[in-house]
């Protein structure tokens, strides 16, 4: 049993959905480096794309933080740079970046661990951005999802018509003469 546990721990040095304490090493536009489990790793904010202000905010928060913890989402791969949720003094940095309009969510997936918190922060971002826009600039764009749905529905209808068109046309019955023997 000890051997199996040792092998598992050797193969999976960082487990998903587990909090790990981290130490700040360095932070710049090139990358964020944290010491996690006695190993210096390059990390990135999971599922967030940041602008320069967001990178500056994250670096400043990490430099000033007394405690830093990271979590790996169950859907992410353990690779470099390691995509993680970063908590600086208990604050989710992804949420802070979204609230301050310094980045956006890269992929929407309802299975992410902190998806609801990030969506709420992004919604707050959109609400405040709409308030800043003049009324004449607002324009409603149809959702891309509905366009694809309509396109695929049209393709299925055309395919159905092509495949079953002979069934719906009535063919004249052939008259068969019966032979009397």
92 in Cβ contact with 114 (< 8 Å)? yes
pTM > 0.85: no
Q: What percent of the chain has pLDDT over 90?
A: 23
pLDDT band at 33 (very low <50, low <70, confident <90, very high): very high
pLDDT of residue 80: 80
Q: Compute the mean pLDDT over every residue in the chain, rounded to the nearest whole number.
A: 75
Residue 84: closest CA among 123, 42, 120: 42
Residues 60-100: tens digit of each pLDDT: 999 999 999 998 877 777 778 888 889 999 999 988 988 88
Domains of the chain: 7-132 (2.40.50.90)
By DSSP bridging, strand 103-105 and strand 31-36 are: unpaired
- What tens digit of pLDDT does each residue of 107-144 get? 755 566 677 777 787 787 666 555 544 443 334 444 55
């Amino acid at each position: 049993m000890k051997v199996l546990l040792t092998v598992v721990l050797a193969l999976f040095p960082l487990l998903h959905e587990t909090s790990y304490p981290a130490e700040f090493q360095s932070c710049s536009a090139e990358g964020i480096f944290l010491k996690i489990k006695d190993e210096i790793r390059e990390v990135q904010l999971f599922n967030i794309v940041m602008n320069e202000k967001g990178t500056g905010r994250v670096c400043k928060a990490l430099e000033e933080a007394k405690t830093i913890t990271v979590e790996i989402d169950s859907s992410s791969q353990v690779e470099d740079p390691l995509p993680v949720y970063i908590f600086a003094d208990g604050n989710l940095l992804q949420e802070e970046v979204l609230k301050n309009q310094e980045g956006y969510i890269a992929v929407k997936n309802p299975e992410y661990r902190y998806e609801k918190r990030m969506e709420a922060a992004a919604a707050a971002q959109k609400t405040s951005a709409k308030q800043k826009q003049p009324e004449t600039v607002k324009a409603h764009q149809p959702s891309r999802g509905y366009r694809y749905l309509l396109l695929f529905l049209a393709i299925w209808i055309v395919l159905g018509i092509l495949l079953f068109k002979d069934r719906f046309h009535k063919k004249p019955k052939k008259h068969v003469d019966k032979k009397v023997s």
